[in-house]
């Protein structure tokens, strides 16, 4: 049974072909929304998700988009508006990592992460702002990280980008509130995805032991919070950063 009813709504999700993004796409489609999602590299994975969602009665449309490309993001959003007539919610999930200690981090690794993880979010928010303002309603959910709040050694680029999302979220929430457009940020902690599957069992245990709940989150648990922020149940919440981290950042 769906937790929230999104029947008839149109949502855009960036980076929706793997991990947290895939779970967000599947959750929203299962709850009745028509989902338009971007992917960057894996066309076969996007096609497989599309077919599986359709078999379950949902609808998702994928398009290859580099969120770091301003023109590509605008064209994608324009396409959604042309096809669907509206955009009820945007989820900024797409992101990359280029980890390394600062003395070894290249300028390219810094710039690539900031361009995708922060500037790309700016591009998407700017693109959806106009149709949402015309509708006088909308939701924007930015996927941040607890490392954007507390930092993490070896991730000065990623942490800086995610910290930037906090300021972007709160500033945009103030700008758009008069048009009933709500902007919030979710800061996940340690989440089980195909990326974390590459860790050793000892590394996974070390992460789990540092979490008060003594376990990592599932991608579905993050997706359920996204769905809440996109729903009518969150109609008086804006400009907030919600940690979904099992108590790690307490």
Domain locations along the chain: 10-241
Its pTM stands at 0.96
Q: What pLDDT is attached to residue 76?
A: 98
Task: Give me 126's structure tokens.
Answer: 């700017």
Q: Summarize pLDDT for 205-230 with one digit per residue, the tens.
A: 888 889 999 999 999 999 999 999 99
Distance CA 120, CA 137 (A): 22
Residue 1 has pLDDT above 60, yes or no: no
Q: Does position 114 have pLDDT exceeding 90, yes or no?
A: yes
Using an 8 Å Cβ cutoff, are 32 and 7 in contact?
yes
What integer pLDDT is reported at residue 191 of this predicted model? Answer: 93
What percentage of the chain carries pLDDT values higher than 90?
A: 89
What is 10-241's CATH topology? Rossmann fold (3.40.50)
> Max CA-CA distance within the chain?
52
Q: What is the pLDDT of residues 60-81, one digit of tens each?
A: 999 999 999 999 999 999 999 9
Instruction: Tell me the two tokens of residue 237.
Output: 């919440």
Report which secondary-structure segment, H or E, holds 13: strand 10-13
Does 158 participate in catalysis according to the annotation? Answer: yes
Q: How far apart are CA 55 and CA 237, in angstroms?
A: 34
The pLDDT value recorded for residue 198 is 66
Rounded average pLDDT over 21-44: 96
Above 90 in pLDDT, residue 203? no
Return the exposure string of 92-109: e unless at least 16 CB atoms fall within 10 Å of the residue's CB, then b: bbbbbbbeeeeeebeeeb
Q: Would you call 67 helix, strand, or coil by DSSP? A: coil
How many angstroms separate the CA atoms of 140 and 131, rounded? Answer: 13
Q: What is the mean pLDDT of the chain?
A: 95
Residue 83: how many CB atoms within 10 A of its CB? 11
Please identify which of the residues 36, 39, 123, 158 carries the catalytic annotation.
158
Residue 248: pLDDT band (50, 70, 90) is very high
Quick: pLDDT tens for 116-140: 999 999 999 999 999 999 999 999 9
Token duo for residue 134: 């015309």
Read off the pLDDT of residues 169-197 as tens digits, 9 standing for 90 and up: 999 999 999 999 999 999 999 998 876 77
User: 74 is written with which tokens?
Assistant: 């605008």
pLDDT at 195: 63
Contact 132, 229 (CB under 8 A): no
């Amino acid at each position: 049974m769906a937790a929230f009813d999104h029947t008839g709504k149109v949502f855009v999700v960036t980076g929706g072909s793997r991990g947290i993004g895939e779970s967000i796409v599947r959750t929203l489609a299962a709850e009745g929304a028509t989902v338009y999602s971007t992917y960057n590299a894996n066309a076969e994975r996007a096609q497989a998700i599309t077919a599986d969602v359709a078999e379950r009665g949902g609808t998702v449309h994928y398009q290859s988009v580099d969120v770091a490309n301003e023109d590509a993001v605008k064209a994608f959003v324009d396409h959604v508006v042309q096809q669907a007539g509206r955009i009820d919610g945007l989820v900024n999930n797409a992101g990359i990592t280029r980890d390394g200690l600062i003395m070894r981090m290249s300028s390219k690794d810094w710039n690539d992460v900031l361009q995708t993880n922060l500037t790309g979010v700016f591009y998407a928010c700017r693109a959806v702002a106009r149709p949402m303002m015309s509708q006088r309603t909308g939701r924007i959910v930015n996927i941040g990280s607890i490392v954007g709040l507390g930092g993490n050694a070896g991730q000065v680029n990623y942490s800086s980008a995610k910290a930037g999302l906090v300021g972007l979220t709160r500033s945009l929430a103030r700008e758009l509130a008069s048009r009933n457009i709500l902007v919030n940020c979710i800061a996940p902690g340690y989440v089980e995805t195909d990326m974390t599957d590459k860790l050793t069992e000892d590394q996974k245990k070390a992460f789990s032991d540092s979490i008060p709940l003594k376990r990592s989150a599932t991608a579905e648990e993050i997706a359920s919070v996204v769905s809440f922020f996109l729903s009518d149940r969150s109609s008086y919440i804006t400009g907030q950063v919600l940690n979904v981290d099992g108590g790690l950042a307490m």
